[in-house]
Structure 1
Amino acid sequence: MSHNASINDATPASDQTSSDAQASATPAPVLEVSGLAQRVTSGEGRLTILEDLELAVQAGESVAIIGASGSGKSTLLGLLAGLDSPSEGDIRLFGSSLAGLDEDGRAALRAGQVGFVFQNFQLLPTLTALENVLMPLELAPQGDIEAQARDWLTRVGLGERLDHLPRHLSGGEQQRVAIARAFVAGPGLVFADEPTGNLDTATGERIAELLFTLNRERGTTLILVTHDLTLARRCDRCLNLEAGKLVEWKDEASAPAVATPQGGDDV
């Protein structure tokens, strides 16, 4: 009897061990948001921009955040990246709560782990394409950083434009430099804010293809803000920001109407 009891007792323990192992093997989200709110005070009183947002993004996932101009997309992106602090809620980036970090701590967390692509490129005008791409590597140099920067510019099709200043590059070329700069340090997460917003349709399509190719090939998590539903549909998930809330849409019937931006303005 005692022998049978020991077998019966052992079986649940084995199942529990297996269950615990599976749970521990499940990776934590790259980005996790809970109870996020952002409010500002204006001449008209207290304005709520974001309210009680929840979000989890897994490694290698591509997520689009869409919404009308002024809906708060850029505000949300700044909060997710730790560039600003929320009124309420918690944001965990690579498992670390941003609330427990000061500005220097958030910058240190982003270094080497987070890349950015902006609508207006944000290249330093007095630096060449090569020098712009070198900047993230100079923060934590490992190996031949110039060779790494050259390699990335070659990957994005600018191997012959290394020594050109931004003003001597087209808009599409400048955005390719920005993409090379975003990916050169091997980040786990790239934020892209209207990455095709200042480009013509054909150039924008090439830039989008480059972003998603890098997302797939390198397993880099991609979170992009856009007004372009065609671009958003290429992501694994699309979230619409409306009235301070994020709502996921999964089919054309529920696709939101997104106004074309005028001058790229956003809250």
Structure 2
Amino acid sequence: MSTPEARKQDVEHPGQDNRLQGTHEQTHRPQNRTPILLARQLEKTVDSGSGRLTILNALDLEIHAGESVAIVGSSGAGKSTLLALLAGLDTLTRGELALFGTSLSSLDEDGRARLRAGQVGFVFQNFQLLPTLTALENVLLPLELSEAGVDTRQAQQWLTRVGLEARVQHLPKQLSGGEQQRVAIARAFVTRPALVFADEPTGNLDRATGDRIADLLFTLNRESGTTLVLVTHDPQLAARCDRTLTLDDGRLHETDASGAPDHATDGAVRP
């Protein structure tokens, strides 16, 4: 896990205009061939009115440090369910799932939260900002849960970096949708996490605003050297990732550059 000094250094060089202009030295994380995320024969079933419903079935997945991976699929295919499982926000029915080399099945809810603290950031479609907290206070939340501790200056610098230096004391209801998502992105990156999950990050935004948010997300991800797992229905957004995986019939299939399934993977998705 990165030290407070390293995180402080990362946010104190936001570019020529203290936002996203100019160059920014990319953080190079140590290369480790152990996957950040590893799923083997993952299954998720839930009770329905007519019996057990299988959402994910014998799903295999490997994601390594520094990758950006898009997960696409039709509505109801289980994309958000898969993301929640990978992040340890939900529990699998059977199979093996490891995050940072630690089996999530071996941890209770508090243990999974401790594993995520400071190492995992989230960006959600509906922003998930606490309505009674200011933009600054929302960005401070992950720092309060991490080993770095509360650093108001660091949170302010991240809000400046996403272009909201004039909005730090505003409540979410006083911000536009695009501004709320910028707060959420600052919150996701403030601890300089190893992994960011984004669930339809532009889904509640108009195309122009969504494009600007996507530019911001990918810029910060590239500069920070973070691993990004992105769930989206937008093929243009998915195309910006290193890999695109399609969730269909409970399994993942790699998609090549032309958009056609890569049948050679036979459901076992690997880099």
TM-score using structure 2 length: 0.83
> Given the alignment, which residue of 52, 64, 68 partners 2:74?
68
- The 5-angstrom pairing of residues 26-175 of structure 1 reads 26-140=32-146, 142=148, 145-175=151-181
The 2-side partners of 1:79 and 1:182 are apart by: 18
Which amino acid is the alignment partner of residue 106 of structure 1? R
- Cα distance in structure 2, aligned partners of 1:33 and 1:67: 18
Q: 1:69 to 1:150 in 2, by over 3 A?
A: same
State the partner residue of 1:186: 192
Q: Provide the secondary structure at the position in 2 that maps to 1:126.
A: coil
Paired with 2:65 and 2:257, the residues of 1 have a C-alpha distance of 24
Aligned counterparts of 1:253 and 1:59: Cα–Cα separation in 2 = 24
TM-superposition CA deviations, 1:3-34 (whole Å, max 9, x none): xxxxxxxxxxxxxxxxxxxxxx7531111111
Q: Give, in angstroms, the shift of residue 109 of structure 1.
A: 0.2
Residue in structure 1 matching 2:238, options 218, 222, 232: 232
TM-score, normalised to structure 1's length?
0.84
Matched to 2:37, the amino acid is L
The structure that is helix-richer by fraction is 1
Per-residue deviation, 1:142: 3.1
Cα contact 2:143–2:149 (8 A) shared by 1: no
Of all paired residues, the percent bearing the same amino acid is 68
- What is the CA distance between 1:186 and its match in structure 2? 1.1
Q: 1:126 to 1:93 in 2, by over 3 A?
A: same
- Structure 1 counterpart of 2:221: 215
1:166 and 1:141 map into 2 onto residues whose CA distance is 26
Report Cα offsets for 1:130-150 as digits up to 9, x if no partner: 010011111236366000100
User: CA RMSD, aligned part only?
Assistant: 1.5
Q: 198, 201, 210: which is aligned to 2:207? A: 201
* Alpha-carbon separation, structure 2, partners of 1:26 and 1:114: 17
Q: Return the offset for 1:90.
A: 1.1
CA–CA separation in structure 1 for the residues paired with 2:246 and 2:217: 21
Q: In 2, distance between residues paired with 1:222 and 1:253?
A: 20
1:152-188 deviation line (CA, Å, top 9, x unaligned) = 0000000111011111111000000000001101110
